[in-house]
Amino acid sequence: MLKVAKLVVGQIQENTYVVYNEVNKALVIDPGDDADRIIAWIKENGWEPEAILITHTHFDHVLAVDSVRDEFGIEVYVHEIESETFQTPNRNMQPSTVVVNRPADHLWSELGEYTVGSFTFDIALIPGHSPGHVVYTFKEDGFVICGDTVFNGSIGRTDTPGGDLQTLLVGIARDILTLPGDFVLFPGHGGPTTVSQEIQSNPFLQGFKA
DSSP codes joined into one string, the chain: --EEEEEEETTTTEEEEEEE-TT-EEEEE---S-HHHHHHHHHHTT-EEEEEE-S---GGGTTTHHHHHHHHT-EEEEEGGGHHHHH-GGGTT-SS----PPPPSEEE-S-EEEEETTEEEEEEE--SSSTT-EEEEEGGGTEEEEETSEETTEE---SSTT--HHHHHHHHHHHTTTS-TT-EEEESSS--EEHHHHHHH-TTSTT---
Q: Which domain holds residue 41?
A: 3-201
Q: What is the tally of structural domains in the chain? A: 1
Asked, for residue 150, whether it belongs to a domain, the answer is yes
Q: What is the CATH number of the domain that holds 41?
A: 3.60.15.10
Structure confidence at residue 210 as a pLDDT band (50, 70, 90): very low
Q: Which of the two residues, 193 and 85, has the higher pLDDT score?
A: 193
pLDDT of residue 87: 80
Whether this prediction's pTM lies above 0.85 is answered by yes
Asked, for residue 47, whether it belongs to a domain, the answer is yes
pLDDT of residue 192: 99
Asked, for residue 206, whether it belongs to a domain, the answer is no
Asked, for residue 147, whether it belongs to a domain, the answer is yes
**115-161: per-residue pLDDT in tens?**
999 999 999 999 999 999 999 999 999 999 999 999 999 999 999 88
pLDDT of residue 88: 75
Asked, for residue 166, whether it belongs to a domain, the answer is yes
Q: Which of the two residues, 97 and 166, has the higher pLDDT score?
A: 166
Asked, for residue 207, whether it belongs to a domain, the answer is no
State the chain's mean pLDDT as an integer.
94
pLDDT of residue 90: 60
Asked, for residue 124, whether it belongs to a domain, the answer is yes
Residue 92 pLDDT greater than 80, yes or no: no
Structure confidence at residue 174 as a pLDDT band (50, 70, 90): very high
**25-80: per-residue pLDDT in tens?**
999 999 999 999 999 999 999 999 999 999 999 989 999 999 999 999 999 999 99
